[in-house]
Homo-oligomer: A and B are copies of this chain.
Amino acid sequence: MSQTLLSTANYKGTRDFYPEDMKIRNWMFSVMRSVVQRFGYLEYDGPILEYFELYKAKSGEEIEKQLYNFYDKGNRHVAIRPEMTPTLARMVAAKLRELPKPIRWFSIPNLWRYEAPGHGRLREHWQLNVDLFGINAWTAELEIIQIACEILFAFGASPEDFRVTFSSRKILNQFLKNSLNLNQKNEHDVAKLLDKKNKISKEEFETQIIPLLPNKQKDLDLLYKFLSSSINNISDIHGITKEVLEEVQTFYKAIQSLGLDRTVFFDPSIIRGFDYYTGFIFEIFDTNPINKRSLYGGGRYDNLVGLFSNEQISGIGFGLGDVTLLNFLQTHKLIPSFQSQKGVFLGFLGESTYFPALSIASQIRQAGILCETNLESNLKFGKLIQQAERKNYRYMLILGENEMQNKKVILKDLSNGTQTEFHQNEIIEKLKSLEL
């Protein structure tokens, strides 16, 4: 053992989950789980280490900069997963034929990225991943958007607390190709610029984009017109096929039918950074002026399973990070108090009451109620109360030698100090009525 004391600091960019933090995390995960499970989604998980190859194949060599990658003791190049999608695609590809379709899956993995920790950006975070494979139709899009909204509703958010914007990659692609007549190279560069438009100044944006446009200012005006189009006037833009227009219009009608049109809006300016989206895309924003940021998003991808298999299956999904969600819930004051400890603290006084107390504790636990006891028989009454109070119990059972002899017990409400005494036979019934 080393002689100098070690630091108690955790590794940079990570969090220790003390019980009070873990209660919030477990609550968040259980709300998310219950929503997606009610839609019939099944939970899966994979190992936290994958071969480096997986991430390189999906994102290119440059992903290495953001990865926790290393060589294991058998010289295999591995990485701690930075995202769940490659693992998901691998698992789906491995059993593509036998899995019942459509595949509805979710997972809440922890993910690692080597980046400078900052507001909402940590090196380790958790992320709900919801994916649907095998249906290439807007009904799948609708289900995914519905789930994305229902999750925030389940946390208590109102339809005005957030805003979902959607578009389709096909609209953007057709606009760039048919309306602006861009070649493939410029199409890609313009899309990349549009993706970072909100992170740079208007001037910077225009300086960079104009050289890429054949008709300069005229095209720029057209581009601005496109970006600010609504679902009603997007058809005024020439070059977008009727088929693609109908797709988004039908989808929007469905949003109206579900009564989600206070929350969900068409917005051709959204891009989503990932190169792999091929159709529908969406992004969810916090509407609170002090936290006006992208919360999460997703879309349709067609090529992922293709890394592993010659078979094709279309997928759509989204990922919701726990840090971003926590910020949203804090901003909107949606986190309940977990201060008060559920269950009952059973305090015994004096050595002879120890075994009778253990027996009562067992009965209470058998009834499914949490029961914690002291473990020292020489505690004074005041110390006993203090122990229960420091652990934030509201209710306490007290068994002293007098009570033991009379087969009684005292129930104390620590929030106001009131006490009642009753027969030990009545304990379960009394505790059940308190809904602990």
A contacts, CB < 8 Å to B = 1-2, 5-8, 10-12, 14-19, 22-23, 25-26, 37-40, 42-51, 53-54, 56-58, 65, 68, 70-74, 76, 78, 80, 87, 90-91, 93-95, 100-102, 104-105, 110, 112, 114, 124, 135, 137, 139-140, 143, 254, 257-258, 303, 306-310, 341, 343, 345, 354-355, 358, 365, 368-373, 375-377, 387, 390-391
Contacts and interface: CB of A to CB of B under 8 A. Distances in A.
10 contacts: A1-B57, A6-B53, A6-B308, A7-B51, A10-B90, A11-B50, A12-B74, A19-B42, A72-B114, A254-B355
A3 to B, nearest CB: 10
Given A2-B57, A72-B114, A343-B40, A8 B375 contact: no
B369 A51 contact: no
A140 B375 CA distance: 7
Contacts of A372: 39-40, 104
A373 to B, nearest CB: 8
Contacts of A343: 38, 40
Nearest to A99: B18
Nearest to A26: B43
A372 B40 CA distance: 5
Given A5-B308, A135-B376, A48 B124 contact: yes
A354 B70 CA distance: 50
A114 B309 CA distance: 30
A85 to B, nearest CB: 13
Given A39-B372, A72-B68, A307 B6 contact: yes
Please report whether the interface of chain A is mostly helix, strand, loop or mixed according to DSSP.
Answer: mixed
Nearest to A17: B45
A6 B50 contact: no
A79 B433 CA distance: 49
Contact of A48 (B76, B110, B341): B110
Most buried by B among A11, A39, A71, A78: A11
A47 B308 contact: no
Contact of A114 (B73, B102, B387): B73
Given A370-B40, A371-B39, A375-B137, A10 B387 contact: no
A306 to B, nearest CB: 8
B50 A1 contact: no
A350 to B, nearest CB: 13
Contacts of A371: 38-40
A372 to B, nearest CB: 3
Lowest 9 A-B CB distances belong to which pairs? A40-B372, A14-B47, A70-B70, A19-B42, A8-B94, A100-B390, A17-B45, A139-B375, A38-B365
A73 B82 CA distance: 15
B18 A95 contact: yes
B47 A10 contact: yes
Given A1-B58, A48-B110, A104-B372, 18 more contacts: A1-B57, A5-B308, A5-B310, A7-B308, A8-B93, A11-B47, A11-B50, A15-B47, A16-B94, A18-B91, A22-B42, A23-B43, A38-B365, A39-B370, A40-B372, A49-B80, A70-B70, A72-B114
Given A22-B43, A308-B5, A51 B11 contact: yes
A374 to B, nearest CB: 8
Given A38-B371, A371-B39, A49 B6 contact: no
Nearest to A102: B375
Contacts of A5: 307-310
Contact of A37 (B40, B102, B370): B370
Nearest to A13: B47
A93 B87 CA distance: 36
A68 B118 CA distance: 27
B114 A10 contact: no
A1 to B, nearest CB: 6
Contacts of A76: 11-12
Most buried by B among A15, A16, A94, A375: A375
